[in-house]
Chains A and B, each alone.
Chain A
Amino acid sequence: DQQVKQNSPSLSVQEGRISILNCDYTNSMFDYFLWYKKYPAEGPTFLISISSIKDKNEDGRFTVFLNKSAKHLSLHIVPSQPGDSAVYFCAATSSGSARQLTFGSGTQLTVLP
């Protein structure tokens, strides 16, 4: 039973436009969410996170939105750049799980020049 779901395996966006990556979760105990970016042949790199006490966190071109009632979060990248092309993983954790991460299956983002 997948507790963190990324239903779009891939997304293509034109350079300069907005990229929106979505993530849904089922476990209401999750209280902290993270996004990781992964290039081929490299390990995932931490991108941005959000606590459940917030509904938005921004870091430069990256913004994460959290809708707790819908158990949904999204990552917005504005403007998108070709270097953003990578696989993006959503992850979630709860204090009750000793902060272990549960990952989604990832979304391949391709930013077209």
Chain B
Amino acid sequence: EADIYQTPRYLVIGTGKKITLECSQTMGHDKMYWYQQDPGMELHLIHYSYGVNSTEKGDLSSESTVSRIRTEHFPLTLESARPSHTSQYLCASSEGSYSNQPQHFGDGTRLSIL
């Protein structure tokens, strides 16, 4: 069973607030990812990291930012939330640089911006 945790599970907050979505994993995985998913749609990669101090933007443009100061922690921040940021955010991790190891997902944060 994968040990990857996301908090909060649900967040309803007003426009203009600063938000940080937390993601932690206890498996020592080097690779971590953030996906955004709207209902009935595919998961879109918005950020990924291959290790400490390494972060890259994914295929889907996002106004969010990420940091990777510790291997186990990969938080996502929105400096000023807008209604267009309403979505589900999923964090994942995987091991191995060249192997086809599957990604393990957290249970997600469902974010609603009023």
Contact = CB atoms under 8 A, between A and B. Distances in A.
Contacts of A43: 4, 6, 90, 92, 105-108
A32 interface: yes
Contacts of B43: 44, 89, 101, 103
Given A43-B90, A44-B90, A105 B41 contact: yes
Nearest to B104: A46
A42 B102 CA distance: 17
A103 B105 contact: no
Contacts, number: 55
Most chain B C-beta atoms within 10 Å of own C-beta, residue among A2, A9, A101: A101
B103 interface: yes
Contacts of A34: 102
B107 A41 contact: yes
A45 B107 CA distance: 10
A109 to B, nearest CB: 14
Given A43-B90, A44-B90, A32 B42 contact: no
Interface residues of B, number: 26
Q: Please classify how large the interface on chain A is, using the bins under 10, 10 to 19, 20 to 34, 35 or more.
A: 20 to 34
A105 B58 CA distance: 18
Interface in A45-87: 45-46, 49, 51
Contacts of B9: 41
B100 interface: yes
B42 A100 contact: no
A89 B42 contact: yes
Interface in B19-55: 33, 35, 40-45, 48, 50
A101 B103 contact: yes
B42 A49 contact: no
A99 interface: yes
Contacts of A99: 94, 100
B2 to A, nearest CB: 8
Given A2-B42, A101-B43, A105-B42, 4 more contacts: A43-B90, A43-B105, A46-B103, A100-B59
